[in-house]
Amino acid sequence: MHSNGFFLKDVAGFLGGYYSAIAIMNGIAALILWRKKGQVGWALVWTAVAVVMMVLASLALSGSSSMVPALPASVRGLVNNLSGPVLYTLGTVALLTVLFVFRKFFVRPMVAWAILNAMLVLMGLSMADENFASIVMKPDNVPIVGLVFLLAFFTWLATKQAVVNDERIAQGLPTVEKENDEKVLVWPDLVYTELICMVAVSAFLLVWAIFLQAPLEEPASSVKTPNPSKAPWYFLGLQEMLVYFDPWYAGVVLPSLVIFGLMAMPYLDFNKKGNGYYSIEERKFAYLTYQFGFFVLWITLIILGTFLRGPNWNFFGPFEYWTPYKVEVLNNVDLPQMFWVNLLDRPLPKASPGASGLVQAGTILLREAPGLLLMGAYLLLLPPLLAVTVFRGYFAKMGLVRYMIMANMMLLMLTLPIKMILRWSFNLKYIISMPEISLNF
Amino acid sequence: MADKKKMSVAEILAAARAADGKGTAAPAAPADQPAESAAEPAATTAAEKPAAPKSAPAAKPAAGGARPSVADILAMARAKKEAGDAPAAAPAAKPAAAAKAAPAKPAAAKPAAAVGGPKTGVQRDTASILAAARAGAKPGPVSKADAPTRPAPKPREPKPAEERAAPPRTVATVPPKPVKPAKKGEEAEDRRGFLQIALGSAMALGFTALSVTSGLFTLGLARFMFPNVLAEPPSKFKVGFKDGFPSGKVETKYVPQYGVWVVNGDFNGQQQIYALKTVCTHLGCTPSWLEAEQKFKCPCHGSGFYKDGVNFEGPAPRPLERYAIRIADDGQLEIDKSRTFQEELGQWADPESYVTV
């Protein structure tokens, strides 16, 4: 939208270096593969990619802003129009599901390398867009970009080892960890490694601090809130959760439950397998539950909050200009309103102003009856119901107390995606809404 | 008895009792016939089983009047166990072990016995054995002066001497519950001691002074919670005459200083001037007034409020709050920030929460 020659000249230098770096990266990969016997084909492929990257780099450095490689405006417009919180969340879930189901394919080093190249190139092409670049290159957003790549890498690394182990276990072989024992001596091996890492990371952080300075804003004022007002990046998932809940729940109860749930894990886990080695097949339930909570309910929300939430906490496409005047219709209503007014076509139960406290409390309870019944059924009826159906084996192995803790933790964790879906699909604000006593759910 | 090393409490106690019963005789009447007769089979059995005598008897050469320590009791018990594995099955082994323990067991000669009490041959109860074991942390002769202060379990029924010779009870027998020893004298001394400690010692004086000082210091700190002067803007301020607020206008110029929007708007069909507090009811950010969209919009989580302050989008659970507003004596509008009115509590009907236009 705002791409112009001045901006492109600024960013072109960076992009030239960026594409050159990708080219060098691919060149080194090709060299390594060339030296290994039998990988000549792949070596040629990555050499070709390196050549293409060199071409892109020279285009970026050509000095003409029209030559800088960029995504066509039509594609960017389409992405902007399509993107929204619903598509983003469902899309990431679908993507992660595909990655999980076809993990045997995706963990192959050549496939992973190709994906890394694609991600980097897509990023470079997007950087030629001013709106995208202004958000991604903001000093406090750079760590999130790093987070995306680092997380992808480490997840790939762990998944690869798990896939290899799963295959070995299926064949009756010992795991990789057992076969080539990686144990080292604390002194000197581990301590030296740690020392080198410490020096390297300190040097890196120093350079980072010098070149990317922390953004300073105007002095804080209790009556002026920056727009958009964002939490530190690691709390942006929490801020996104707060959009769907009352502060006491999304800000206090859910984070505490995350901590307590993580603490309870060793006591809830009765699966003795997977101890000391990577494996997915042997602990699918634990793996999927954790990855869902971590990736979908935490990381994607951080990315959403960082890159896609703009002024007034409105959703903006990745190439959209962050205007504080964007109009979005987000009207929502509480469940009692839906039930009494929209469904039964009656006014909300309301006590007369002079009524006694008991009558007023009774009226509030009657008004909130549908929500209270729903929540009661969800938290009290579902666990036993699950115990005799889906989780029958778990219930038998865990016993009542451990099973109930596990089931309730899971149900409370699922309140977040359920509430998000209800908000998007039915414009539901709160299931239980008792502002009189500041209790909303 | 699967594990030779481990002994049940019952066995230990039984052994201790057996030792007591036998041993009392030794110091009291060394020439006593039953005692000697008991000692004889002991010698024979010991010869037969050379392993046994090692642990217990040798351990306790210090004889006269010493209490048995826990180690002693255990050693004796072990010796007995080795000597006669199943006490009930081989009763002969019993006296043997007991006699062996005898020299070690002047414990039997409890302090009470030393003073000449009728203690000899009394079956000791669990409490007294344990008490003795505990008190025996520093075993040594008990002085005569000390002796009467010691709690001594009441002798239940002193047995005649000939009964002593009879084989001691088997392990299976459960001894009757001990009678609680009277403790009056000790308690009285404790109380005196406490007073002495509480008031007498320099340490107590120091701690008393410390606690009093820290209490006063805390009170002094609490005083800071109630300052004499509050550097806050006055809660009441004037914002001009009614004419300055034409219908439908949201006045935002008082936000930076006072945190209030003065609105001339329509609420429930009534045209009012009211003062809205600029604090979002979700998490307390300051929303901004969007003139084009005629709404208050919070930048933190996207809550939206209509011009009358009622929430309609985002997570805000209740409408914005109103401050008290009135027409002062000089005809100007005066806002009082010390009082707020909440819609969900029905307080917007209060005539002090608005001024009719």
Give tens-digit pLDDT for B222-281. Answer: 988 888 887 777 789 999 999 889 998 999 999 988 899 999 999 888 899 999 999 999
Q: Give contacts of A 309-328 with B, CB under 8 A.
A: 311-314, 324-325, 327
Nearest to A249 by CA among B297, B342, B315: B315
Closest residue to A228, CB basis, from B256, B299, B318: B299
pLDDT, position B103: 46
Spell out the SS3 assignment of chain A: CCCCHHHHHHHHHHHHHHHHHHHHHHHHHHHHHHHCCCCHHHHHHHHHHHHHHHHHHHHHCCCCHHHCCCCCHHHHHHHHHHCCHHHHHHHHHHHHHHHHHCHHHHCCHHHHHHHHHHHHHHHHHHHCCHHHHHHHCCCCCHHHHHHHHHHHHHHHHHHHHHHHHHHHHHCCCCCHHHHCCCCCCHHHHHHHHHHHHHHHHHHHHHHHHHHCCCCCCCCCECCECCCCCCCCHHHHHHHHHHCCCCHHHHHHHHHHHHHHHHHHHHHHCCCCCCCCCCCCHHHHHHHHHHHHHHHHHHHHHHHHHHHHECHHHCECCCCCCCCCCCCCCCECECHHHHHHHHHCCCCCCCCCCCCCHHHHHHHHHHHCHHHHHHHHHHHHHHHHHHHHCCCHHHHHHHHHHHHHHHHHHHHHHHHHHHHHHHHHHHCECCCCEEHHHCEEC
- Please check whether residue A64 lies inside any domain of the structure: yes
Tell me how far apart the alpha carbons of residues B94 and A409 are, in angstroms, rounded to a whole number. 62
- Please check whether residue A63 lies inside any domain of the structure: yes
Nearest to B298 by CA among A226, A306, A439, A440: A226
The encoded tokens of residue B265 equal 């708007």
- Please check whether residue A10 lies inside any domain of the structure: yes
Tell me how far apart the alpha carbons of residues A264 and A258 are, in angstroms, rounded to a whole number. 10
The encoded tokens of residue A398 equal 């865990």
Q: Going by C-beta distance under 8 Å and a sequence separation of 6 or more, which residues neighbour residue A308? A: A83, A85, A88, A315, A316, A317, A318
Tell me how far apart the alpha carbons of residues A319 and B37 are, in angstroms, rounded to a whole number. 108
Nearest CA in chain B to A310: B299
Shortest distance between the Cα of A412 and any Cα of chain B, in A, equals 19
Question: Per the CB < 8 Å rule, is B285 touching A229?
Answer: yes
Question: Per the CB < 8 Å rule, is B282 touching A245?
Answer: no
- Please check whether residue A336 lies inside any domain of the structure: no
- Please check whether residue A321 lies inside any domain of the structure: no
Q: Are A398 and A270 in contact (CB under 8 A)?
A: yes
**Total domains, chain A:** 1
pLDDT, position A375: 94
pLDDT, position B53: 42
Shortest distance between the Cα of A221 and any Cα of chain B, in A, equals 8
pLDDT, position B230: 73
A352 reaches B (C-beta below 8 A): no
Tell me how far apart the alpha carbons of residues A34 and B296 are, in angstroms, rounded to a whole number. 63
A368 reaches B (C-beta below 8 A): no
Per-residue pLDDT tens digits for A227-256: 888 888 889 999 999 999 999 999 899 999
A422: how many CB neighbours lie within 10 A of its CB? 17
The encoded tokens of residue A176 equal 């990789």
- Please check whether residue A22 lies inside any domain of the structure: yes
Contacts 24+ apart (CB under 8 A), A150-154: A151/A299, A152/A116, A152/A119
**Which residue's entry shows tokens 């020893």?**
B181
Q: Going by C-beta distance under 8 Å and a sequence separation of 6 or more, which residues neighbour residue A230? A: A236, A239, A305, A306, A309
Q: What are phi and psi of B335, to 5 degrees?
A: -105, 135
In tens digits, chain A (441 residues) has pLDDT values of 444 567 877 888 899 999 999 999 999 999 999 998 788 899 999 999 999 999 999 999 887 878 888 899 999 999 999 988 899 999 999 999 999 999 999 999 999 999 999 999 999 999 999 899 999 988 888 889 999 999 999 999 999 999 999 999 999 999 888 888 778 899 999 999 999 999 999 999 999 999 888 878 888 888 888 888 888 888 999 999 999 999 999 989 999 999 999 999 999 998 888 888 999 999 999 999 999 999 999 999 999 999 999 999 999 999 999 988 888 888 888 999 899 998 998 888 888 877 788 998 899 999 999 999 999 999 999 999 999 999 999 999 999 999 999 999 999 999 999 999 999 989 999 999 988 888 888
- Please check whether residue A303 lies inside any domain of the structure: no
Residue B348 CA to its chain's centroid (Å): 51
Nearest CA in chain B to A311: B299
Residues of chain B with pLDDT under 70: 1-7, 19-69, 77, 80-125, 129, 132-175, 178, 180-192, 194-200
Nearest to B299 by CA among A252, A143, A322, A234: A322
**Which residue's entry shows tokens 């002067």?**
B229
* Sign of the CA dihedral with B26 first, then B29, B34, and B39 last: positive
Report the b/e string of A18-54 with b at 16+ CB within 10 A. Answer: bbbebbebbbebbeebeeeeeeeebbebbbebbebbb
Question: Per the CB < 8 Å rule, is B286 touching A222?
Answer: yes
Domains in chain B, please, with CATH? 9-189 (no CATH), 236-356 (2.102.10.10)
Q: Is the ipTM of this complex over 0.90?
A: no
Question: Per the CB < 8 Å rule, is A311 touching B299?
Answer: yes
Q: How far is CA A159 from CA A165, B61, B262, in A?
A: 10, 72, 59
pLDDT, position B190: 65
Shortest distance between the Cα of B284 and any Cα of chain A, in A, equals 9
Domain that holds residue A2: 1-69
- Please check whether residue A37 lies inside any domain of the structure: yes
The amino acid sitting at B181 is P
pLDDT, position A67: 84
pLDDT, position A419: 93
Q: How far is CA A28 from CA A36, A48, A114, B37, in A?
A: 13, 12, 14, 99
